[in-house]
Amino acid sequence: MRLTFDGKVAIVTGAGRGLGRAHALELGRRGAKVVVNDLGGSAEGLGESFTPARDVADEIVAAGGQAVANGDSVVSPDGGDAIVECAFEHFGRLDILVNNAGVLDMAPLLDASDDHIDRTLATHLRGSFSVTRPALRRMLEQGYGRIVNTSSGAVLGSPVGVAYQSAKAGIIGFTRAVALLGKDSNVKANAVLPTAFTRMTDTIPDLAFRAFMEERFVPERVAGAVALMCHESFEPSGECFLAGGGRMARLFLGVTPGFISESGTAEDFAEHLDDVMNAENFIVPADRGEEFASYLPRLGFAFSAATPLVKET
């Protein structure tokens, strides 16, 4: 069964090049009306140009689809509002948001300038906040939405690009929170952790690996997974999916049973560190409540995953 998006409206940020372009084209090819957002700056986030967004929107239209170009910055709340309003102004609704905008960060932690760190965090993490907030309000009102945030496999650790990794790790927590906010309104939020050869990865020094990446890890091999995550039939929410090279895999946060000490001393934990580290019988909690429920009864408190952790507003 072919997955289509007829009648659906999508925003893709950072859609002028690379992964964002592939996402926008794929959604447009499958029937979505697409707001192609891109500030059009350099890979480092400097400068701006309307040309990349316009070119991708024109490409979608030339192929028989519907699209509009948008050049607002995701970094500011005003820019996020304007991007969402663009969808309503041109297409009357919003069903899908793909937060993809980002900048390159290969700086070692001790050498990175404050401006570089701020720009990286702002584009990746604050940018996701800026566009998601107005989009989520609209989706909750209409009782439907699909949000895909872009994290990265770099969260598993790399000696360079620490600001980038930190922002991408934040996006995982952000995604899980948005998923909980939308669970009663058919608003699903998930994170994609893509691997693709783009101008962001064009700095790979090993020539053989670079050639393999360029051939196998084309952005289109990520766009299919993202299209699935955007579809109305996709039920998972609050999850993370690695995608690239034709592979899609789930990445999850697991918790070991751990060791419970009555004394709570460093020495007691040291003596039982093997128990702390033992990954047998780990759990994958859907939220903080499920994690509490996994061990609080062992401490003598009859806590369940349904126990409220926050006051109703």
**Cβ atoms of residues 171 and 194 within 8 Å:** no
- Per-residue pLDDT at 115: 93
Give the mean pLDDT of 208-225. 90
Nearest to 178 by CA among 249, 250, 239, 88: 239
Give the mean pLDDT of 236-246. 97
- Per-residue pLDDT at 206: 73
Q: How far apart are CA 257 and CA 111, in angstroms?
A: 39
**Which one from 91, 129, 164, 197 is the annotated catalytic residue?**
164
Q: How far apart are CA 230 and CA 4, in angstroms?
A: 10
Could you say which DSSP state residue 125 is in?
I
Q: How far apart are CA 28 and CA 24, in angstroms?
A: 6
Q: Say whether pLDDT at 198 is over 90.
A: no
Q: How far apart are CA 188 and CA 178, in angstroms?
A: 8
Q: Which residue type is seen at 71?
A: G
Q: Say whether pLDDT at 253 is over 70.
A: yes
- Per-residue pLDDT at 313: 60
| Least confident segment among 13-17, 147-151, 211-215 | 211-215
- Per-residue pLDDT at 1: 84
- Per-residue pLDDT at 247: 95
Q: How far apart are CA 39 and CA 50, in angstroms?
A: 7
Cα 168 to the center of its chain, rounded Å: 8
Neighbour tally for 275: CB within 10 Å: 14
Stated pTM of the model: 0.92
- Per-residue pLDDT at 110: 92
- Per-residue pLDDT at 45: 58
Q: Say whether pLDDT at 203 is over 70.
A: no
Q: Which residue type is seen at 81?
A: D
Nearest to 97 by CA among 189, 182, 188, 12: 12
Residues 6 or more apart from 203 whose CB is under 8 A from it?
106
Torsion of CA 62, 52, 49, 210, to 10 degrees: -170
Q: In the chain, what's the furthest Cα-to-Cα distance?
A: 70
Give the mean pLDDT of 141-158. 95
Q: Which residue type is seen at 161?
A: G
Q: Average pLDDT over the chain, rounded to whole?
A: 93
Q: How far apart are CA 216 and CA 105, in angstroms?
A: 23
Q: Say whether pLDDT at 296 is over 80.
A: yes
**Cβ atoms of residues 8 and 96 within 8 Å:** yes
Give the mean pLDDT of 138-152. 98
- The question of whether 144 is a catalytic residue gets the answer no
- Per-residue pLDDT at 190: 98
Q: How far apart are CA 55 and CA 69, in angstroms?
A: 8
Q: How far apart are CA 226 and CA 23, in angstroms?
A: 7
Domains of the chain: 9-251 (3.40.50.720), 253-313 (no CATH)
Nearest to 310 by CA among 177, 151, 202: 177
Q: Which residue type is seen at 226?
A: V
